[in-house]
Structure 1
Amino acid sequence: MAEELARHALKLRFSGATVDKRGLDLYDGSSSFYGFAQAIQIAAHAFMTKEIVTRATALRGAEIYFEAPRRGSVLIDIITVIEKYPATAGVAGAAFYDFMKIAFSKAVGKLNEKAENPAIQKLEIDETFFDQLAETLEGSLRRAHRAIDRGVDQVTLERPRSVLVTFDSSTSEWVNTRDENPEVEEFTGNITRYNAISGNGRAYVRELEKVIPFRPSEAFPASKRGHLTWSLHGNTIKAGKELRFWASKIESARGEAKRLILEDVAQG
């Protein structure tokens, strides 16, 4: 009996005045495509297995290839063929496209995007999964933005008949992360999400006036993880049990705090 396969079509469209006039620079365009290929492969693996890998190693149970380019705008057809994994069994193609939209949107700073498919909405309940995946995708997406950094107005990741995510100079500023600020600062706030296995979570930070992802540093005391769980039990920002955080910030190229690296915590 032949293995059951699901076929999903994506498109990468490079557009703008520079592309209309000259086409796509071979080196910059191929570097961008390489970055997108890495990112799509990592995201497809995460969709299939619900496991996050840091390198785009050879896929097992799936193939990703592109069809012949056509004349006009630089439009590359990409086909992803996935075996029926336990995590994807019975899941429609709409879930794959929704997963790609949320994964890539969060990775480029479009943090307000929400999943529409019920299967992906369940994953969003633990937002730390997509936070971790977004951080993992950033290196590939920095390379993927090379064409944009060299004059292409925008690139769109598309499904048949609609756009999933648009990449432009703004998303380039987000993925081009500044080096981690070595200065450890003190913050106050409370935990809103926490994954006890990975140690990743989200916290409302009063000084930043927003909810921001965090992950513990290698030096974070294992004995302090209980404080994170204690704070989470407050459930809401207003009623949450407050902590003091000592953490360094990772910022985007435009100076926005993207995540905190926790060094220590104490109950407020």
Structure 2
Amino acid sequence: MELTFHARYTDGRRKFDGLDHYDGAQSLLGLSQILLIALNSFFNKEILVQAPSAKGFRLVLGKSKEGSWDQAVHLLITNPNVLAVAEDIGKAGLYDLLKWSLLSGIGVPYLVANRKAKKIIRELEQKNEDLHEKLDEALKRVHYPVKHQGLTIHVMAGRQNLATFNEATLRYIETEVVHEAQRYEPFGVSRLNARTGTGRFIPNMDAASVPFTPVDALSKAAKQALGDSLAYLTRDRFVPVNALISEVTSADGHLKSYRLHSVVPI
């Protein structure tokens, strides 16, 4: 299997007049990190842990076409076991997984449709490490040309657009508003770190997950309730808990995470 992705830099807040070398290099580094970490988690079921001051001139990467700049990124699989996994997932499944990885980190809801992709996501969310947390810094790097040059970036797979990074997605990753209002909501638990008490909530079986962080140390009963909900979900049963939460949003009002104040079984 061989796949080609494209990072396309075009007009955004400002008209495209070349891609700054430093910002472009950082952006492509960020994209490379996202693809490597995400694809490794899909193929190997393992989530990896891991300014210029010149004035008066700039270095600009060359254009591939008038009015934009395009960089191809080829995925070449060399291990037969990994190839077998990739072919089993299929292109449609991989594209769904990559969209989920990219869009969840920038506040764009995406409903995963592919059955195999859903299964892999469920398995990944049961890991101690949170994939999206590992992609945060890389997503900030990808946005360098958006932040410093006012450009828009399209991540493509063939003719399919996997994600678009622009001023709105930059505001999402750079701003955080903590709301004081609290309310009870029923949520299923799709991921839980027993040590830290952090995890992810889902309102139903097919919904995108939202991260949560406890405000204070959770009681033993609260951890038990969260753990029981997660255990049921691994057996394809949606058994929610009643969670007292407050919201953390971007400056635009897009939900980023929940602060968890208490939790009781329903």
TM-score for both structures, normalised by structure 2: 0.71
- Supply the RMSD in Å over aligned alpha carbons: 3.7
Residue 224 (structure 2) pairs with residue 226 (structure 1): yes
Alignment correspondent of 1:122: 119
2:186 aligned to which of 181, 184, 190: 190
- The secondary structure found in structure 1 opposite 2:130 is helix
Instruction: Tell me how far apart the structure 2 counterparts of residues 242 and 12 of structure 1 sit (CA, whole Å).
Output: 41
Residue 42 (structure 2) pairs with residue 13 (structure 1): no
CA contact (8 A) 2:5 2:74 kept: yes
Alignment correspondent of 1:262: 260
CA gap of 1:7–1:188, structure 2 versus 1, over 3 A, is same
Consecutive unaligned residues in structure 2, runs of 5 or more: 51-60
TM-score for both structures, normalised by structure 1: 0.71
Give 1:117 deviation, angstroms: 3.2
1:101 aligned to which of 95, 99, 102: 99
Give 1:143 deviation, angstroms: 1.7
- The secondary structure found in structure 2 opposite 1:92 is helix
CA gap of 1:141–1:129, structure 2 versus 1, over 3 A, is farther
* Cα-to-partner distance string for 1:171-221 (whole Å, 9 max, x where unaligned): 112222438x5x8864312222333566623155xxxxx974324578334
Instruction: Tell me how far apart the structure 1 counterparts of residues 125 and 22 of structure 2 sit (CA, whole Å).
Output: 35
1:169 aligned to which of 167, 170, 176: 167
CA gap of 1:26–1:220, structure 2 versus 1, over 3 A, is same
Percent identical across equivalent pairs?
A: 21
- The secondary structure found in structure 2 opposite 1:110 is coil
2:70 aligned to which of 75, 86, 92: 75
Give 1:53 deviation, angstroms: 2.6
Alignment correspondent of 1:61: none
Instruction: Tell me how far apart the structure 1 counterparts of residues 228 and 12 of structure 2 sit (CA, whole Å).
Output: 54
Alignment correspondent of 2:146: 148
Instruction: Tell me how far apart the structure 2 counterparts of residues 216 and 46 of structure 1 sit (CA, whole Å).
Output: 26
Higher relative contact order (CA 8 A, sep 6+): 2
Residue 36 (structure 2) pairs with residue 37 (structure 1): no
Give 1:71 deviation, angstroms: 2.5
* Aligned residue-pair number: 239
* Cα-to-partner distance string for 1:78-125 (whole Å, 9 max, x where unaligned): 0122333375463323332222122111111111x2234332132345
Give 1:69 deviation, angstroms: 6.9
